[in-house]
Amino acid sequence: MFSLVLGGAKSGKSNFALKLFNNLQGEGALVVTGKGLDFAFKKQILDHRLERNPEIKVFEVEKNLAGTLKSLPASLDKILIEGLDFWFFSLSKEEREEYLEAFWESLVFLKQEVILVSSEVGLGLLPGKLTWEVRGLGEFNQKLARLCAKVYLVVAGCALKIKDQEDGLF
């Protein structure tokens, strides 16, 4: 089953997603996409590391998220994919279609419980020149939500379940 956690910057979405992840049984892995480009974000990444169990396997991704997902150990029972918005914005307009297509195709092969985390449009930190990127992230999040059985919105550390279907596409 796939679940999506959306929220704004510093809304508590990462902490909530980690709680969901920790409540699932079995062996898990965390796939992270955010890169610390400034001191504040580097500190946020460090804080997240300190908050989670150091035994959780962590896989860092540049652009080839699909390749990372396909290479994860088959023995995993759960996967937390953190920072899909950072990954989305790291892709140039020219390469985005190729990487997105590979990402969508890779989801079909995941049999584990999967928790996806992304910023909701207008609630997260967004890069400069926004027009096509914001529209693109909004459409990306909508497609994720259609594929997921459960969708949560986190605001001020409070999670609201906005979709709950046991028969989600994935």
| Residue 114, domain CATH | 3.40.50.300
For the segment 50-69, the average pLDDT, to the nearest whole number, is 84
Entry pTM: 0.85
Domain that holds residue 110: 2-156
The number of folded domains in the chain is 1
CA distance 13 to 75: 27
* Paired tokens of 27: 């062996």
CA distance 72 to 66: 10
What pLDDT band is residue 121 in, cutting at 50, 70 and 90?
Answer: confident
Q: What is the mean pLDDT of the chain?
A: 85
* Within a domain: 111: yes
* Within a domain: 92: yes
* Within a domain: 29: yes
**What confidence score (pLDDT) does residue 73 get?**
93
For the segment 108-128, the average pLDDT, to the nearest whole number, is 82
CA distance 155 to 158: 5
**What confidence score (pLDDT) does residue 9 get?**
82
